[in-house]
A and B are shown apart, each in its own frame.
Chain A
């Protein structure tokens, strides 16, 4: 047990100082914070209704509408302020689901050392042999474009990576002395997994978190962009980019603003994720 506590404490300390010192991570956290606040508080600040037509379609920015009007004459700023909540919420839930499934499968596969392991990993391999977006589109075709389906299909695409990482780390950790000691003490499997294995595989799992989250944003907002996710007239950043392309000559801000917001969000998540990976000493550069 001594090994365990020093292990985690050391890495946690290294982790914190490494992440906090890296300028990339600080910029990243600021980026993420800006977009998350925008998405959560946006609806309170929006000057107009996100779905009401209030002027000429494609009107360029004016003092009253600082980002102009969209292809149906709705206020772009208001739609931008409303357009993040649903997608961000879906991405968070999808990421949580990804980890719930990935952790369960990875732990079972890595710990049982039986045929279950190869069975589960074959299943994971099959999911990895399909392009991510393709799986999402097939799911939408089959089951319809509801929020639940989008969340489930994003998790379906993302869990194999988590399961693999968890399995490999579990395999490695479960051979260590303290796990064998716990087995010899007669502790039950659940408590061994929870108290001995999980804390010791936390590093690689957390390192992977930022990446899964940014993938879930890319996937879900891409489906929205394709017009196969959130349905009009609901405001959504991906959808806004797609529907306003017809008026880019009149009001380019209707496309530029949501593009920039998505770009800042993903860059921010990536910068923070990279810093985590680096601080864990997992990175080669």
Chain B
């Protein structure tokens, strides 16, 4: 179903832009500059939204963090230490300035517990690298799998091979990660006893030292993304196959292999890159649940724990990093699409 949403949105976005003219002689650079500028703007707006929403209730942080030990004096002292005695606008710009320098502020929980380590930045690197490893492995498998499964089922649309591929994809692409993950645990741990049900690592341990622990989180991420992605690639291939130029080439006796490679697959590539980009973006949200299912110490689990503790600054740090990743993938995908498919240079803005 995700596939349909993406497709509808994609169609909408194509319809909305009536082919703007390029202003400079170097379209790719203009394009890139424009995308970067708009992404930076988006991120600033997003950061403000995130900051104001999480700080909308004054005194909230100190009260929640201190819990039963909250006395007016203590709340006030903690507020002062965290800078909550300033106006929200001042605090936002302080925070934004810090973030731009890689300083994400202090953890309210750590301050309240008199933990000597209060800086959030120092707690981010390990979960970040763990998540990047997980996401990178998933992406490396996601891209070829989406293209191959989607391409094959598209070329064989309506035949047995297509049904064999599309059926399972329909199921796996629709289910939420926590259902897929739990079912995979039941299968690979309970029934087959092949893989561990949790993928927790001791502090400082590299995920590569426990390769078995990475299997189920990666497979869960792939189930959802390849499931919805390959179906969209399939739809793209089917549409190209119906195109007049493919029929024309066939009528002209161009050999089928040449048609498939030079006409169909090449032209289906534009949709495919965007589909894959949407699914790479999706990883930014998907890892939140997947890391929690398997207890994998990445930025997603970091976020969930911070939300449970109501540690606002930690939530903000994880949130802004995930949002930046989301926006970045979007630009990267646009650039690749524009690079691969010249036709789109006039259709996208």
CB-based contact B178/A242 at 8 Å: yes
> Contacting A227 at CB < 8 Å: which of B46, B306, B308, B319?
B308
A234 and B344 CA atoms in complex are apart in Å by 52
Interface size, A (range): 35 or more
Give chain A nearest CB distance to B88 CB in angstroms: 13
Interface residues of A: mostly helix, strand, loop or mixed?
A: helix
Please, which residues of chain A bring their CB within 8 A of the CB of B8? 161, 165, 204, 208, 282
Contact with A along B8-52 (1 / 0, CB 8 A): 110010011000000000000000000000000010011001100
29 pairs, A vs B, C-beta closer than 8 Å: A126-B49, A129-B326, A133-B289, A134-B288, A138-B54, A141-B54, A142-B56, A161-B5, A164-B12, A165-B12, A168-B12, A208-B5, A211-B2, A215-B1, A215-B5, A217-B176, A221-B176, A225-B289, A227-B308, A241-B179, A245-B182, A245-B197, A248-B197, A249-B190, A252-B190, A263-B171, A263-B179, A273-B4, A285-B235
Contact with A along B176-219 (1 / 0, CB 8 A): 11110011011001100000010000000000000000000000
Please, which residues of chain A bring their CB within 8 A of the CB of B323? 129-131, 134
Stretch at the interface among A54-62, A180-188, A254-262: A254-262
CB-based contact B46/A126 at 8 Å: yes
Q: Nearest B residue to A172 by beta-carbon distance?
A: B15
CB-based contact A129/B12 at 8 Å: no
A145 and B344 CA atoms in complex are apart in Å by 44
Known contacts A126-B42, A132-B285; is A266 also within 8 Å of B176 by CB? yes
CB-based contact A138/B319 at 8 Å: yes
A130 and B177 CA atoms in complex are apart in Å by 18
CB-based contact B238/A252 at 8 Å: no
Contact with A along B311-349 (1 / 0, CB 8 A): 010010001001100110010000000000000000000
Known contacts A141-B310, A218-B176, A242-B178; is A134 also within 8 Å of B1 by CB? no
Tell me if A140 counts as interface (CB < 8 A to partner B). yes
Please, which residues of chain B bring their CB within 8 A of the CB of A214? 1, 174
Give chain A nearest CB distance to B39 CB in angstroms: 8
CB-based contact B176/A222 at 8 Å: yes
> Contacting B157 at CB < 8 Å: which of A226, A259, A267, A285?
A285
Taking beta carbons and an 8 Å cutoff, which residues of A are in contact with B?
Answer: 125-126, 129-134, 137-143, 161, 164-165, 168, 204, 208, 210-211, 214-215, 217-218, 221-222, 225-228, 238, 241-242, 245, 248-249, 252, 255-256, 259, 262-263, 266-267, 269-270, 273-274, 277, 282-285
Please, which residues of chain A bring their CB within 8 A of the CB of B12? 164-165, 168
Please, which residues of chain B bring their CB within 8 A of the CB of A228? 304, 307-308
Q: Nearest B residue to A164 by beta-carbon distance?
A: B12
Tell me if B57 counts as interface (CB < 8 A to partner A). yes
Give the A-B contact count at a CB cut-off of 8 A.
166
Known contacts A225-B289, A285-B234; is A259 also within 8 Å of B183 by CB? yes
CB-based contact B185/A137 at 8 Å: no
Give chain B nearest CB distance to A78 CB in angstroms: 20
Which of A125, A226, A263 has its CB near the most chain B CB atoms (within 10 A)?
A226
CB-based contact A248/B190 at 8 Å: yes
Give chain B nearest CB distance to A207 CB in angstroms: 8
Tell me if B53 counts as interface (CB < 8 A to partner A). yes
CB-based contact A270/B54 at 8 Å: no
Q: Which 8 A/B pairs are nearest by Cβ-Cβ distance?
A: A131-B285, A218-B176, A225-B178, A270-B1, A284-B235, A211-B1, A270-B174, A133-B285
A238 and B176 CA atoms in complex are apart in Å by 10
CB-based contact B289/A226 at 8 Å: yes
Which of B1, B190, B304, B319 has its CB near the most chain A CB atoms (within 10 A)?
B1
A252 and B183 CA atoms in complex are apart in Å by 10
CB-based contact B4/A277 at 8 Å: yes
Tell me if B284 counts as interface (CB < 8 A to partner A). yes
Please, which residues of chain B bring their CB within 8 A of the CB of A282? 8
Please, which residues of chain B bring their CB within 8 A of the CB of A255? 182, 185-186
Give chain B nearest CB distance to A144 CB in angstroms: 9
Contact with A along B263-286 (1 / 0, CB 8 A): 000000000000000000110110
Tell me if B303 counts as interface (CB < 8 A to partner A). yes
A269 and B182 CA atoms in complex are apart in Å by 21
> Contacting A226 at CB < 8 Å: which of B45, B238, B304?
B304
Give chain A nearest CB distance to B239 CB in angstroms: 5
A256 and B191 CA atoms in complex are apart in Å by 12
CB-based contact A134/B171 at 8 Å: no
Please, which residues of chain A bring their CB within 8 A of the CB of B292? 225-226
CB-based contact A126/B45 at 8 Å: yes
Known contacts A129-B327, A138-B319, A228-B304; is A248 also within 8 Å of B185 by CB? yes
A202 and B265 CA atoms in complex are apart in Å by 35
Give chain A nearest CB distance to B225 CB in angstroms: 13
Tell me if B170 counts as interface (CB < 8 A to partner A). yes
CB-based contact B175/A266 at 8 Å: yes
CB-based contact B4/A131 at 8 Å: no
A245 and B319 CA atoms in complex are apart in Å by 27
Q: Nearest B residue to A241 by beta-carbon distance?
A: B182
Please, which residues of chain B bring their CB within 8 A of the CB of A129? 42, 46, 323, 326-327, 330
Q: Nearest A residue to B311 by beta-carbon distance?
A: A141
Q: Nearest B residue to A132 by beta-carbon distance?
A: B285
A139 and B56 CA atoms in complex are apart in Å by 11
A283 and B235 CA atoms in complex are apart in Å by 8
A140 and B315 CA atoms in complex are apart in Å by 11
Q: Nearest A residue to B154 by beta-carbon distance?
A: A285
Taking CB atoms and an 8 Å cut-off, the chain B residues in 229-282 that contact chain A are 234-236, 238-239, 281-282
CB-based contact A285/B1 at 8 Å: no
CB-based contact A285/B238 at 8 Å: yes
Please, which residues of chain A bring their CB within 8 A of the CB of B54? 138, 141-142
Please, which residues of chain B bring their CB within 8 A of the CB of A142? 53-57, 312
Beyond A131-B323, A284-B7, 19 extra complex contacts between A and B, CB < 8 Å: A126-B46, A131-B285, A133-B285, A134-B322, A138-B315, A141-B315, A161-B5, A161-B8, A214-B1, A221-B178, A222-B176, A222-B289, A226-B307, A241-B182, A255-B182, A263-B171, A270-B174, A273-B4, A285-B238
